[in-house]
Structures are given as C-alpha cells and as structure tokens.
Structure 1
Amino acid sequence: MLRDATTALVLVLALSGCAGIGQPKPYDSAGINGLVIPTATPDPADFGDVVDNPWLALEAGATWHYDVTDSGRTIGTIDAEVADGTTTVAGLNATGVRTTTEVDGETSEETHFYAQDDRGNVWLVGADSPAGDWRAGEGGAEAGLAMPADPRLGDGWAAYVVPGLPDATVRVDDQSREMVQLEDEAGTTTRQVYEKGAGLVSVEDLDAGWVATLD
C-alpha cells in the first residue's frame, strides 16, 4: 500500500458497473470495461469483507518491510501493516493499511482503506494522511481503482478524485503472467511493481530518484 514516499504504496480503487454505481463509462481497454471510475457511490451489495485479489491480497495482520535506496545508498525504510478488523467507509467493510515511511530523516504515517467488489476489483475508498483525510462520498471525494481483477497492458484509470488533492491516474505499462507494473501520476510519478501472490514488491519514485524494495 508511498507517493512523496508513503503514498506510492497506495493503490487506488474503483467500482464495478453494478447496481448503485450508475451507468458504466465505456473503456476501450479490456479488463476494466463497465467500471465507473471514479465513483462516490459504491453499493455495499456489490462488495465483500475481504481483499484477496492475487496482486493485492490484504490479510489482517500482514506486514511488509521495504528498504529505500538512492544510487546504491540506503536512505530509509517503509513499513506497511494490514489492520485487524475492518472500518466502515461509504457503507463498505474496508480494510485499512497503515504505512510508516522514514526517508532522509523524515517520518510520515498514512492509512489507506481498501474494499474489494464481487468481481475481484480492489478499490481505494479513503485515506488518512498528512495531505488530508478523505472518505468516498464525503466532501466530493470519489473512490478510484487500486487493482483490477484482470489487469491488462495499456489499461488506465483514475486512482481517486479528492477536492484539494492532485489528480491521480494509473496505467499498466508492463505485464507478464506473474508481474504487473503500474505507472502512477499524482503530483509525483512513481512506478510500482506487483508480483502475483506477493503483492507490491518495489516502488520507484521517478522524480526523487529513490527505489523502495521489498525486504
């Protein structure tokens, strides 16, 4: 789940074109057709209580540790932990992921909230961060897609829409049977690599020049 260090670990959500989401917006790329991205009105009937997408599985209590390096020099760490239990966001049972980032002597913490629809798509439905707290459906905030059930090369979508925050977009720019690489634009540009069954294994901040690698 580190942009400006932390937010890049964040993957953003969206909703399937089911009841309560509104009319599906057309997408040319296979794998996200019929999804309304972004959306402020997720229908709880379309969602479950667990996030088990093979690219982004979030089991309660799971932890990840990343070493952050720049030009071969270790400059910090990133630690992420999945919260026990769920938090109600927009009527959904959302899973929280708390991320602590220490880079160049500066520390920040963020929590992001995810929910998975009944088609296996994972959505980002809220966040608590230094940039501001938001929840889908409140104050104009809309959920975006964190990880599709079936990501395809060339797919692109809105990561979220939150008044006062930079526009956020994600695109699948490389893929194999066991790997998906996303390029994320939200104030800074990051490249995130996911491995099936392992989740997020590396994040590269293309603007700052550092790389966070799963330990």
Structure 2
Amino acid sequence: MEKRVKFSIWYYLLIVLLILFFDLLFFSGPKVQEISYKQFRDYLSEGKIESVVLTKDKIYGLLKSNDSTKVVKNGEFKPALKHTPWHLNLEKYAKEYEKQVKRQFIVIRVEDKNLIQDLQAAGVDYRGKLTSDWFTNFLLNWIIPFGILFLIWGYAFSKMGKGPGVLNIGKSRAKIYEFDPEKRVTFKDVAGIDEAVEEV
C-alpha cells in the first residue's frame, strides 16, 4: 500500500519561513533618507550633489563621495575587488551597500523654474524618469515572487509522491463506475457466505 504524504503544521511553517526569507532578501534593507527641498538646494549650492534623477513628483539624488567606491552614472556602484574571485566577502558588500544608501536622498519636488539651469551650472549629472504605475509595482513585488514560491511548493510536493499536492487541492478522488446489468450481484449469489449476508 502506498504511503500518502500527510499535511502537517510543519509544511505551513516552512512556507511562512520561505515567504519571510524572500521578503527580507528582496524588500528590506537600509532606507533612503528624505530631506527637505531647502536642504536639497543647500547641497546643490555647496556642490555636494553628484547626480539626480527627476520624476514627476520626486527627486532622487546621490551625494558626492571622496572614498574609493566607484560610482557610475546610473547610481550603481562597483567596489574594488581586493580578494580572490571565489571569495564572496558578503560583509564587505553589505558595508559598501549601506554606505551607498547613506549617500542617497529623496526630495518631494516643488515648482522651481531655475532647477535645470542650476543643475547644469553645478555640473550635476541629471536625467528624467517616468514613474511606473501601482499595477507594475504590485506585479513585480508581489505576484511574481509569490507565484515562484507557489510553483516551487507544487514541484516539491509532486516529487514527494502521490500525496495531496498543492495542485490537487479540491480534486475528488472518487471513481465513477458504469452500471453493467450482466454483472449484477444478487442475494442468492452470496446466500452461502455469512460475511456477505451480514453486509447485505
């Protein structure tokens, strides 16, 4: 007789832990500080801003840095590798990432006709960007990650056997048999069998 995989609280606990892990992996980390528009203007006049990204209602900026971190124009950074390629050195990347986030800031955009002219005068690299709608963010941040988890869960249960997998929920295991008049079993056929008489 085949062993069936039984659901237990540990399966649900494992799913919750996986969801929390992916949430911490993709959606957590140091937050970018939000500053006032006056402070942004002060940074600009003092020559502390390296680059900005202009959207319809916000300004995303990057302050200048005097350390050895290499910064490219799109805001990404590539720390210099001083170790072997197979040594990940995750602690160093975490520190570099945190340092990079501290250089970033967000400003609520206000009406300022001289902003572009002042950015050019200060030598700040600036570019515009169209903001994505809420549906795109919801799709990328929630639907796709949870869809991947759902597929992994279903694949794992299918490999564990013919138990109640995630894709078989709600499916009935009852079998339908056609009625055959020639194979009817009557009381006379089982009259000599005590167990059958009791069941009938």
Structures share fold, TM-score greater than 0.5: no
TM-score, with structure 2 as normaliser: 0.19
Larger RCO, structures 1/2 (Cα 8 Å, 6+ apart): 2
Instruction: Compare the two structures and name the one with the higher helix fraction.
Output: 2
Instruction: Compare the two structures and name the one with the higher strand fraction.
Output: 1
Larger Rg: 2
TM-score, with structure 1 as normaliser: 0.18
